[in-house]
Chain A
Amino acid sequence: MSPVRIKEHWREQRIFNRRAWFAGALMLLAGLAVLGRLYYLQVVRQHYYEVLSIDNGVRTVPIPAARGLILDRNGEVIASNRPTFDLELTPDEVPDLHAELAHLVRLGLLQQTDLPQLIRAIHSRQRFDTVPIRLDLSAQEVARFAVRRYEFPGIDISPRQARWYPFGKLAVAAVGYVGTISARELAHLNPAEYAGTAVIGQTGVEAAYETALHGTNGYRQILVDALGRPVRRAGALGKELHFQAPVPGDDVILSLDLKLQRLAEQLLKGQDGAVVALDPWTGDIIAMASSPGFDPNLFARGISEKQYEALVENPRLPLFNRALRAQLPSGSTIKPGLALGALTEGMVDPDKRIFAGSAWHLPGSGHLFHNAAHEVCGWVGLRMAIIMSCDVYFYRLAFKMGVDRIGAWLPNFGFGSPTGIDIPGEQPGLAPTPAWMAKHYPHDRGWYPGDTVILGIGQGKFLTTPLQLAHYTGVLAARGLSFEPRLVTGLRNPRTHQIHWKRPILDGNLTMISPASWKVVIGAMVGVTTNRRGTAYWEMINSPYPIAGKTGTAQLTREQANEVGNEKTGPENLRDDAWFIAFAPAQAPRIAVAVLVEHAGYGATGAAPIARKLMNAYLLGSNGKLLPAAPRGPYSEPRGIRPRVKAGVDPTLTALQRATEP
């Protein structure tokens, strides 16, 4: 039995009071714990949480830098920037989406047929994210919208910087183009540098000088709420937001002369081929064309799948940069180079004449090697063999030199390896150098004497690109000085307009070739255009300045040639490719040209007229007389041609900068 318990008033009051005091002490402890925690958060770790809170609410919005311009040697703009205006819609701020879009259709700013897709796109975004609903408005369209802007809450015009090639396809082989940054490219970029940048150089100068052209993007900080929505009235919160102005990219000055470039592309029009013209004393490329080309604006604007497919599937391969990438037999254009090799190695006496019939019999075999048209050369020396392009003479010469000597000599002119031009994508061609031979024909196993023989006329295991051939022509013109071909001569600071000129790169000097040898070979090349038996006599007749040239006909492969006749009689796509190389004036050259016209038959008729018109345009004044040469020796600095761009600020750029500043 438990004892009877009775209520004791004072005891109960005491118990309660003790408990109350105890609870009070506990609460005090708990309160101190909270205060301690607050001290830790707000005093000890205050800085840490402050950084986190700034990270939360401050978003950095990149301001893309204006891309540098690309100018030709006279300051003419080949690639520029154009402010384009888009219509942007912020769903959050549009009271009646369908009504506003229908109104835009009535204004002619949207197509009725685009609406369903557009509405789907708008609904797929966050409500406060702006959606571009119409790109690239014309000036009239901008005006039409601007006067009625008040009728379209939530829709506004937004400026954007777009790359613009004012002359379309002109010089696209050299300049290249920009295109939207692919996911793969993005993986190799510094995301901080390219935040806000829409396009990146894909080919040509645009790709090679991407870093200089791109500039440095700026940024501004804006306040965003937890949903990422920009806060318009920042008020007390907006005090410490940073702004960093973008630094525009450098302008790139090219060696191209747009006047000549335009002519080159015009002359190639309708044909597949390439032209490379350069200054033999610097390697500066004056014109570089590949036909047919394409409009780089397609890529800068954002090419559609359909347009891209059309370019890729075009049998004439407009995207193929023939100037850099077409690897073809050089044909007879190699003969001057081989002659120089043979002279230097003492393999030939230039004055000794031999009788050359219509074919040459390879000693110790039954093979006959014919002249191109089975013609008989007669008694010819080295000079005449070059002038009339006697194949039989050069079969014999090549056989005498052997593949080892030829293979060792060809790299002197830059064959068999990339020239080192300052844009990407160049092909190396092919030359049977000792290293190459050792790799592909160890101990000459499988290499037949006939393979050596046809090297004498630039066929067989010898391939060159138009650029390599132009470079070779330049080396001949400069009497052995070899400059790396280049397109970019200087970079201009867009703000100070100061130009940083680049020195030409001399990468070789063929001092082993004697002046006498040069005299023989260059004399013969002049004979090609002046001797009545010269292969380019009629095409170069009556030139006011002496031209040193050489024709070439790149034959199709033996298999193809056996099936159908080559030359001009066969179907067009199986005819020979025509080459012509030339430099002028012969005694003091200012320009070296290589012209390729595919499937045009003989080099003289197919390619030589193009070369002559280019040289005329470059060398002759309006009175038809030779222009005075710029005073310059072989080792001079680059000419001090200042681009004729007005000092001051480019109006399109300032408009754009204004539009992107806060």
Chain B
Amino acid sequence: MIHEEISTDSRTRRTLSSAARVLLALKVDGPLAVGLALTATYGLVVLYSASAESTPMLVRTVLRLLLGIIIMLAVARISPNLLRRASPWLYGLGIVLLLAVAAVGHVHLGAKRWLDLGPIHFQPSELMKLAVPMMCAWYLHERPLPPRWTDLGILALIILAPVALVAKEPDLGTAALITAAGAMVVFLSGLRARTLIALLLLAVAAGAAGLRFMHGYQRERLLTFLNPEAHPLGAGYHIIQSQIAVGSGGLFGKGWMAGSQAQLDFLPERTTDFIFAVIGEEFGLLGLALLLLLYAFVIGRSIYLAMQCPDTFSRLLGGSVALTFFVYVFINAGMVTGLVPVVGVPLPLVSYGGSSVVTVLTGFGILMALYSHRKLMG
């Protein structure tokens, strides 16, 4: 008996260590991968309910996840030096593609966001979510930190050029996320506190000025956020219905597939931007707390990995991946619960659709590449 126990124990240990060897060979970080996998699985369970038991949607999401994982694994094998050297080229390619979108883009739902590449529709703005922080990190890599004012000016140009093109599509959500991704690099590069505050004030002023140039529906969203009950059936409908869904879920939720707000279509965009509310309604505060815990683990692990990186480029880019992921989560959760205005930001790894899953996983692939190749770096 005892012998056998020892042998099972050692077999387990052997299995684990062999798994670790595989992960090492794949350049994959085990804990992060587990965190991502749990989050994605949770997302699939919720999506099944939110989509009214739609198998096709589930299959498509699994396929997208698989594509994302493959890309993540591939990217994880790329050496950070190559990534760094490729950064300006990727950035340049992104700018060219965005200009192409502006020129010959595919119009869908009133927005010009897609490039029609035969079988697939490609959103160059997704590429920019990664290319902009890479470019920022590349720019700062050669320069001493913290950056000087002239550096900041150039970084602002690097960030705002694609942001302006994306905002013009119009796609305010993605523009905000690209800005955030770039800004995170700058933030992590160590601005002085007073510079940071000055920049924040500048951003607020720019935002107020930007209000004048917003599209009608964008401005309305923002104003509606401030007073949703003024438009109960108009633009305020999203906010009110999502808060009803979340609030009525209570502590334990109404049960899987038993959320009336979600199942009876009262909750708009329930498989995409408002899937957070479905979790709140069906699994309650505990379900949401579990999800937030998973996200916290993923973000915490990511920051830890970034901190382990030996060079500035890797740290800044890795940190940006982690913080941008947080921004996704925070904006989405804040939007659904009424803390921030309604902007079309998906809940990462849970919301249905689009290239965002692939982008997110690619980002984590980069992070893993930066971390797992650290011993090869000078």
Which A residues form the contact surface with B (CB < 8 A)? 2, 5-8, 11-13, 15-20, 23-24, 27, 30-31, 33-35, 37-39, 41-43, 45-46, 48-50, 52-54, 56-57, 223-227, 231, 235-237
Which B residues form the contact surface with A (CB < 8 A)? 143-146, 148, 184, 187-190, 241, 243-251, 255, 257-258, 260-261, 263-266, 280-281, 284-285, 288-289, 292, 296, 299-300, 303, 306-307, 312, 315-316, 319, 323, 326, 330, 333-334, 337-339
Which 3 residue pairs of A and B lie closest in terms of their CB atoms, listed nearest first? A49-B247, A15-B190, A53-B248
Whether B264 pairs with A225 at a CB distance below 8 angstroms is yes
Whether B144 pairs with A7 at a CB distance below 8 angstroms is yes
Whether A226 pairs with B299 at a CB distance below 8 angstroms is no
Q: Which residues of B contact A13 (CB under 8 A)?
A: 315
Report how far A8 CA is from B145 CA in the complex, Å.
Answer: 8
Q: Which residues of B contact A53 (CB under 8 A)?
A: 244-245, 247-248, 260-261, 266, 281
Whether A42 pairs with B258 at a CB distance below 8 angstroms is no
Q: Which residues of A contact B246 (CB under 8 A)?
A: 38, 41-42, 49
Q: Which residues of B contact A15 (CB under 8 A)?
A: 145-146, 189-190
Whether B260 pairs with A223 at a CB distance below 8 angstroms is yes
Whether A16 pairs with B247 at a CB distance below 8 angstroms is no
Select which of A56, A235, A236 is within 8 A of B266 by beta carbon: A56
Q: Which residues of A contact B285 (CB under 8 A)?
A: 38-39, 42-43
The 15 sampled A-B contact pairs (Cβ below 8 Å) are A7-B144, A12-B144, A15-B190, A16-B316, A16-B319, A20-B319, A30-B330, A34-B333, A42-B280, A42-B284, A49-B248, A52-B248, A56-B244, A235-B258, A237-B260
Min CB–CB distance A603 → chain B (angstroms): 70
Q: A2-B148, A31-B292, A57-B264 are in contact. List 15 more A-B contacts (CB 8 A).
A: A7-B144, A7-B145, A19-B188, A20-B319, A23-B303, A23-B323, A38-B285, A38-B288, A42-B280, A56-B241, A57-B260, A223-B260, A223-B264, A226-B264, A226-B265
Select which of B188, B247, B260, B337 is within 8 A of A48 by beta carbon: B247
Report how far A513 CA is from B244 CA in the complex, Å.
Answer: 79
Q: Which residues of B contact A6 (CB under 8 A)?
A: 144
Select which of B247, B284, B306 is within 8 A of A45 by beta carbon: B247
Known A-B contacts A53-B245, A236-B255; A224 and B264 likewise in contact (beta carbons under 8 Å): yes
Nearest residue (CB) in A for B284 is: A42
Q: Which residues of B contact A41 (CB under 8 A)?
A: 243, 246-247, 280, 337
Select which of B188, B249, B303 is within 8 A of A42 by beta carbon: B249
Nearest residue (CB) in A for B140 is: A12
Nearest residue (CB) in B for A6 is: B144
Q: Which residues of A contact B143 (CB under 8 A)?
A: 7
Nearest residue (CB) in A for B191 is: A19
Whether A43 pairs with B339 at a CB distance below 8 angstroms is no
Select which of B247, B257, B263, B292 is within 8 A of A50 by beta carbon: B247
Q: Which residues of B contact A46 (CB under 8 A)?
A: 247-251
Whether B261 pairs with A57 at a CB distance below 8 angstroms is yes
Q: Which residues of A contact B307 (CB under 8 A)?
A: 16-17, 20
Whether A56 pairs with B260 at a CB distance below 8 angstroms is yes
Q: Which residues of A contact B243 (CB under 8 A)?
A: 41, 49
Min CB–CB distance B328 → chain A (angstroms): 12
Q: Which residues of B contact A49 (CB under 8 A)?
A: 243-244, 246-248
- Interface hub of A7, A15, A16, A37 (most chain B Cβ within 10 A): A16
Q: Which residues of B contact A52 (CB under 8 A)?
A: 244, 247-248
Report how far A57 CA is from B245 CA in the complex, Å.
Answer: 12
Nearest residue (CB) in A for B250 is: A46
Report how far A5 CA is from B263 CA in the complex, Å.
Answer: 61
Known A-B contacts A45-B247, A52-B248, A225-B264; A37 and B330 likewise in contact (beta carbons under 8 Å): no
Nearest residue (CB) in B for A27 is: B326
Whether B265 pairs with A34 at a CB distance below 8 angstroms is no
Whether A34 pairs with B188 at a CB distance below 8 angstroms is no
